[in-house]
Amino acid sequence: MFVGRTEELGYLDEINKKNGPQCLILYGPNRIGKTELLKRYFKGKMSFFYSSAPCKKRDQMEQFHQRILSVVSDSRLSATAHFSWEEMFSYIFSDLGRKLSFIVIDEFSQLCAEDQKLPLLLRRLWDKPGKRQDMLLVISCSDVSFVKETLLKSKESFGDEKCHRLELTPLKFEAIDFFFPDYSLQEKVYCYAAVGGIPGYLRVFDRKKTLEQNIKNEIFDIDSFMFREPSLLLQSKLREPHLYFSILHAIACGNNRLREIAEKTGVHKTATLNKYLYVLRNLDFIKRIVPVTEKDAAKSRKGMYFFQDAYFRFWFRYIFPNMSYLEMKEQDIVWKRFLRPDSDAFVEETFVDICIQRLMRLNRYKRLPIEAQKIGRWWDRTNKIDVVSFTEKDEYLFCDCLWDGKRAGLTQMEELRRKARRFPRSSRKYYGLFSKSGFTKELYEHARVHDDIILLNYY
């Protein structure tokens, strides 16, 4: 099943229509759908497509050589057993390029595992004249830190304005409809909170089974790949996984501030904890968010830490601390004792993300009372507003996202108004609520006669 990615396909088409040879770096985490996107775009087009595997350099070169031979019959290539990278890349950019205008190298970081000079070599050969004017080179990577620290950091590799870049991000909440059309709206929210918008995870779940059955069968089962994947991935990237695991567990349990993480993990030396957090951010496991109104995010001291991947957050909240139960095949205990009573508290963070997605979509189509310049979370020492949107003219839309069993009413609206008083310089203020359970009749009547109040759907 290929879902969404309309904008990404359009971007590929836009690059392909540009004059002269074009290069694109496509990157994003494992199972995000990079290969599926490329297969969909290049379907029916004459292209050279090579997907790298984790193996020794000699085997990698041999596989690359054989892939070229499978595309074109050339006596020069067949007669020689071994070619250098320079010879093979030169060949696909010149000889092979006369027949094919699309060159795709998938999981490029695997090629570079034992040859760190390969990105510089590839760029040097790419810059040589003589290529087809309509040639498109796509370099795809799942190792996000490799892309940022190697490919895009230096102009000598691919970090300049001549090279396009596209970071593939998780699917939005609305895509859940395509995977689980029969789930209720709230079940879709719970599902999105558990595995996020990663297509490779969503495809594992069976749309004919309940969310409980899917989680027990595909996540809680110790023989499933989803049970082991976060642990294996982290251990392959980190030298001291145990401390990193403790930090991630702390964040997954809602300890998002530096002070809270220190207290939970016992790492009280700020410099040491910041070093570990920097590594996790660099590997794209977590992100640092500051209030949307902060002018300089890097210098802000109000940063909070959140997971990049929804499933990793789920894993560290429910799998990591309950390994003993799950190793003993006691999935029911983990579900009934730890997950189900905590599920609404866990979903709250994801619900805010879903509401932000909704506001961004409404803003794009100019269906909000303001044309927001920025949309994001906001907090200070004593207050938190789930979403704040604002314009250059200091017009504000304040929103709270309420995930509980009660209909939102006048009390919640007045609380939002109170918190919004922290913005005295605003020229115009609007107030919005999202609610899992809808709104009271009194609030509907109040909103009908007050044009600064909007009641919002999150779907």
pLDDT, tens digit, 9 for 90 and up, residues 280-335: 999 999 999 999 999 999 999 999 999 999 999 999 999 999 999 999 999 999 99
> What residue ranges define each of the domains in the chain, with the CATH number in brackets?
6-167 (3.40.50.300), 174-347 (1.10.10), 368-456 (3.40.1350.10)
Average of per-residue pLDDT values in the chain: 93
Burial of 286 (0-12, 13-18, 19+ CB in 10 A): buried
Say how far apart CA 100 and CA 400 lie, in whole Å: 53
Q: What is the DSSP string of 208-241?
A: TS-HHHHHHHHTSSTTSHHHHHHHHHHHHH-SSH
At residue 407, the 3 state secondary structure works out as coil
pLDDT in tens, 42-80: 998 888 999 998 888 889 999 998 898 888 776 666 656
Query: Is the distance from CB of 250 to CB of 239 less than 8 angstroms?
Result: no
pLDDT in tens, 362-417: 999 999 999 999 999 999 999 999 999 999 999 999 999 999 989 999 999 999 99
At 261, list the tokens.
């993480």
DSSP conformational letter for 308 = S
pLDDT above 60: residue 126: yes
pLDDT in tens, 244-285: 999 999 999 999 999 999 999 999 999 999 999 999 999 999
Burial of 271 (0-12, 13-18, 19+ CB in 10 A): exposed
Q: Is the Cα torsion angle 106, 107, 108, 113 positive or negative in sign?
A: negative
Q: Give the residue ranges of DSSP H helices in 49-107.
A: 57-71, 75-79, 85-93
CA angle centred on 308, ends 302 and 311, rounded to 5° = 130
pLDDT above 80: residue 81: no
Choose among 216, 235, 246, 436: nearest CA to 339: 216
Q: What is the DSSP string of 178-201?
A: HH-TTS-HHHHHHHHHHHTT-HHH
Task: State the pLDDT at residue 3.
Answer: 80
Choose among 350, 333, 398: nearest CA to 372: 398
Task: State the pLDDT at residue 156.
Answer: 87
pLDDT in tens, 332-363: 999 999 999 999 999 999 999 999 999 999 99
At 452, list the tokens.
């600064």
End-to-end CA distance of the chain: 22
Task: State the pLDDT at residue 78.
Answer: 62
Task: State the pLDDT at residue 374.
Answer: 97
Task: State the pLDDT at residue 1.
Answer: 58
Q: Give the residue ranges of DSSP H helices in 211-342.
A: 211-218, 225-237, 241-252, 258-265, 270-282, 310-314, 323-327, 331-333
pLDDT band at 94 (very low <50, low <70, confident <90, very high): confident
pLDDT above 80: residue 82: no
Q: What percent of the chain has pLDDT over 90?
A: 81
Q: What are phi and psi of 363, to 5 degrees?
A: -65, -40
Those residues whose C-beta lies under 8 Å from the C-beta of residue 127, and which sit 6 or more positions away, are: none
Choose among 161, 134, 109, 145: nearest CA to 122: 109
pLDDT in tens, 182-223: 999 999 999 999 999 999 999 999 999 999 999 999 999 999
131 vs 1: which has the higher pLDDT? 131
